[in-house]
A and B are shown apart, each in its own frame.
Chain A
C-alpha cells in the first residue's frame, strides 16, 4: 500500500480536496405539493443545484382538482402524508411510502384538511381542518393514528384553523385559528384543548372614538335579548388573521404569522402570553425556524419575498425576492444550511421552489414544479 507520506505534494492536495469534497457533499431531499395540479414533486438539492426527481400524481378524480395542500414526513422518514383539501365534501389524508412513492393507505378527515405533523411520542398525526371556504364557525383538529390510518377524534378549536405544528417533546400540538385570531394548544396525550390565547391586540381598539352620548339605553329592550342564542365565535373577526405557528426548536417560545397585521407574534409558552410583536412586511404566511435556532424565516405572501430574521435579537437580516409571486411554505434542512421555499405563481405559471443559502442569505437556485406549489416538507440529507 502506498504510504500517504510518500505521495508528492500536488497529489496530496488533490487527494485531500477530493476526500474533503466527498465528505462535505450532501444531497438534500424534499417533497412539495402542487395544489392546482394534483401533483407532488420529489426534489433533490446537491448543495448547488436543485432538480425534480419525480412528479407523483395524486388524487382520485382525474377531471377534478382535489387540491393537495399539506404534506409531512414521519419522524422515521419511511412515509410521507398528504392532505387532499377537496372531497365529497370531506377531504382525505393519504399515506405514501418514501421508498416507492405509492399510496399505502388513506382516511377521510374534515372539511379542507390542511397542515399537519406527527408527534414522535404518540405516533399520532394532528391535522387542522382548515374549512377555508366554509362558514365562519369553529372547525377541528383531526387526530389520526398514522400506523392504522384511523381518525381517532376531532377536537374543536377555532374558525379556520391552520399551521399545525407539534412541540419538540411531542406532547403538545399548536395551531392558530385564522378568523377567530386564536392560538390553540392541544395536549397530545389527553386529546383536549389545554390552553387558548387570543392574539388580537385589544389595546389597539380606540374606544375614545365611540360616541356613547348618542346611545339611548332607555330605549333598549334587553328583555328581548336571548343570550343563549348569541354565538360569540361568529362575532369574532380577527384583525391578526394568524396563518401559521411554529415552536422554537430549543426554547419555550412560539412564533406566529400575523397575516392580517403584518407581524410575527412571539408567544412565551411558559407564561402563555404574547412576549413580542415583530414587524413584518405585508402578508406573512408561513414561518419556519432553523433547527439550530439562529434564524427565523417567513414567506411574505402579498409582497413576494421571503424574510430572514436573526432570532436572537429579532433583527431583519435580509429580504429575498422570490422567483415568482405568492410565496407559500418553507422547509429548512436538518443541518440549518438551506431553506426551501415553495412559491405558488398565478394562473398557468408553474410553481417554483426557491433554495436559499442560510449562510450567505441569498437565493442559490430554483426549480419549476406543478402549479400552485404549497405544502413543503424536508425529508432527508444524505451523502
Chain B
C-alpha cells in the first residue's frame, strides 16, 4: 500500500489547498476531555455525495505549535493519540493527504474541562472587621489535580479570569453583610455572620465576626503639608477610642482626591496602603484615612517641581557613513580624556577619539576587525585595555578583540578570543582583570586577561532555564547584573563576597522579572538622598518592527526596583516617555541620563523617594534631540546611550556618532515659548 502511495504521489501533479468537494469528519468535533485524558481520534474524509473519500494519511497538530509554552495538547504520533494537558478550548488541525497527494485540512475545537474543584477555603487578610469596612476575603481553590489557586482581594484580574471559567456564587447567612454584584462584601452591622463561596458546586465557608468600630477619632499626620510633584509624603493615621486612648495595630484605608491647579489637566498621583503619597501634577489633594465608618482627611498642596534646566549641545564627533553603536569615555594613561565608539552593520570598525575638550571631539585612530557589527566597546579602569565585541565575522567565529589603548593615538590589537563565543558577542564588560562576554545571547563567560595576549576562560553564568536569553551584563562592586529578557535581572556575586562568589565561581543571589519580558539593560543605583538601593531595569521594544525608510517606532520604559531588601525586591516606580522607548542609561548623583532612542537624551531628577510615574511628576530636567541634518539618516534622532563624564553628558547616536552635552545651571529661556504664559 505504501509503495502504491509513493508511485501515485510521484506521478501526480500536486496542488496544495483546501478541496471544495470533500470534508473531514471526526470525533474531535465538539469533543470535551478532562485534563490528563488520552484520546485516539477517529477521522475520515467524506465526499459531498456522502461516500467515503480517499485519505491515505491523517496528521493532527495543535494550532498553538510545539513551543515550550504551548503544550496544552500533545500528540503521540506513534500511537495516534493526543493528551490534554491544559484546560480551555484548543484548536486541533487535522490534515488529510490522499493518494493523489492532495491535502485537506480542517480545524476542530476541543474543550478541555477545568479540573473539578475539590476544596474551597476562605480566609481573611485582616481578622479585624469593623462596621463600614469592605471585607478582604481570600479564596484558596484546590482542584482534583491538586492545583491550588489563591485569589486575594487586590488581584481581581486573576479572579475575574478564573470566575469566567467556573460557576461561582457568594451567599451570606444574614443581613449583617452586603454582597454586591462584583462579589465585594461590605460589613453593615455588628455581630456574627458567615459567607459561603461555591465554586462548581463545592463550597467553602468562613465565619465573620463584625465588630463595633473601636475607633472614635482618626488623626491624620504627614511629614509635609506641601511639597513638589514627585516628592513622597508619608501619611500616618492615628486611631483613638472613645476614651481618647490610642489604638495600635489597626488597618487604615488611605485614598485621595484632587484638583489640578491647571484647569485643563487632571490631578493624579498614587497612595499606598502604608500611607505613602505622591502627587504627579501640581494641585490641591485631599488625602483621606478611613477605618470602618470613621474617616478623616487632610489637604496638601503640590507645587511644580521646577527642575528644568537648559541642555546645551557642546560638541559632535560626526560619523555619517555608517551607523554608530555603543561607546565608552575614559581617562587615558596620559591623563587626557578619550572615547571609543563602535559601529553597526558596517565594516567592523571602532573609532578612537580625543574628548579632552568636549567642544572639539577629535577622531584620532581606528581599528578594523573581521565583523559587520562592533556592538559594544569598553575600556579597563586603568585606561589601558579596550575590549570590543564582534558580530558577523566572515568565518562566523566572532568572539572579542582586546586592544592596547595605552596610546589612544596609535591603538594596537593585542589578541582575538573566540572560544565559546562564536555565536556572536553582543555586549561585553571589563572589570579590572576580567572580561564578561555574552555568548550567543544565551549566557556570559568570564575571561581572565591578566595576560591579554592569552585570555583564559575562568567562569560562566547562565540562568539555566529552557529558552534562556540574555542581552547585557554590567559589573559594579563585584556584582554582575545580567539582563535576561523574560527572566529579568540576575544579581551574581563575582567577587563582592556577599555569597562567596568569584569570577571563577559566580553565584546568583538575587532576581527580579516582570511581565512584559523585555528586560534589556540594568543599572544598579544607590540613592544619594535616601540610601535606598535600586536596580533600574530598561526595556527594549520595537512595536512595529523595522522601518528602513524613516524613524523607527520605539517603546518600553525603565522599571525602578527597590532592591534594598535583596530577598524582597519591589518595583516602585517607572520612567516612561510617551511614544518613545528606552535604551541605555547612566545614573549619577540622583540624576538619570537616559537614551530614549527616538525621544533623545532625557535628563531626569530622581532624588528623594521614588514612587509611581516619574515622567508625569515633572522630574525631567531637560532633553536633547541628537539627530543632525548631516546624519547617516538625516534629522533622525536615534540616541543609543549616555555617560556622564567629568561634568559632560556624552552620548552616541545611531545616525550621528559621538556627541557631548552640558546641563546648564540656567533655566531654559522660555521667552519665545508662549507669550501668554507667565
Contacts and interface: CB of A to CB of B under 8 A. Distances in A.
A108 interface: yes
Interface stretch (B524-532, B539-547, B558-566): B539-547
The DSSP consensus for interface residues of chain B is loop
B74 to A, nearest CB: 10
A122 B548 CA distance: 36
A379 B467 CA distance: 35
B545 A189 contact: no
Nearest to A326: B394
Contact of B546 (A61, A75, A86, A133): A61
Given A89-B468, A151-B66, A170-B14, A347 B368 contact: yes
B345 interface: yes
A133 B347 contact: no
Interface in A176-224: 189-192
Q: Which of B64, B93, B349, B370 has the most CB of A within 10 A?
A: B93
B43 to A, nearest CB: 15
A168 B11 CA distance: 11
A122 B97 CA distance: 7
Contacts of B546: 38, 57-62
Contacts of B368: 347
Contacts of B15: 76
Interface string A52-76: 0000011111111100000000111
A183 B58 CA distance: 27
7 closest A-B pairs by beta carbon, nearest first, are A348-B347, A133-B423, A57-B548, A169-B10, A36-B372, A36-B392, A152-B61
Interface residues of B, number: 67
Given A88-B486, A191-B77, 8 more contacts: A36-B345, A62-B547, A65-B345, A108-B67, A121-B14, A133-B439, A134-B423, A169-B9
Given A65-B392, A145-B61, A152-B61, A348 B77 contact: no
A326 B392 CA distance: 13
Contacts of B325: 63
B391 interface: yes
A58 B548 CA distance: 9
A108 B64 CA distance: 11
Contacts of A171: 6, 9-10
Given A75-B16, A90-B467, A152-B66, A347 B442 contact: no
A170 B103 CA distance: 13
Contacts of A64: 426
A288 interface: no
Interface string A1-40: 0000000000000000000000000000000000111100
Nearest to B441: A89
Interface in A333-371: 344-349, 371
B2 to A, nearest CB: 9
B542 A60 contact: yes
B654 interface: yes
A98 interface: no
A101 interface: no
Contacts of A345: 394
A147 B105 contact: yes
Nearest to A325: B394
A107 interface: yes
Q: Which of A75, A76, A123 has the most CB of B within 10 A?
A: A123
A278 interface: no
A169 B14 CA distance: 10
B552 interface: yes
Q: Which of A37, A58, A76, A120 has the most CB of B within 10 A?
A: A120
Contacts of A121: 9, 14, 97, 101, 103
B525 to A, nearest CB: 24
B321 to A, nearest CB: 10
Contacts of B10: 168-169, 171
Interface in B158-186: none
Nearest to B11: A169
Nearest to B654: A63
9 contacts: A65-B372, A65-B391, A134-B440, A147-B105, A169-B6, A170-B101, A171-B9, A348-B372, A371-B392
A38 B545 CA distance: 12
Interface string B414-432: 0000000011101000000
A328 to B, nearest CB: 11
A133 B62 CA distance: 30
A255 B95 CA distance: 31
A89 B469 contact: yes
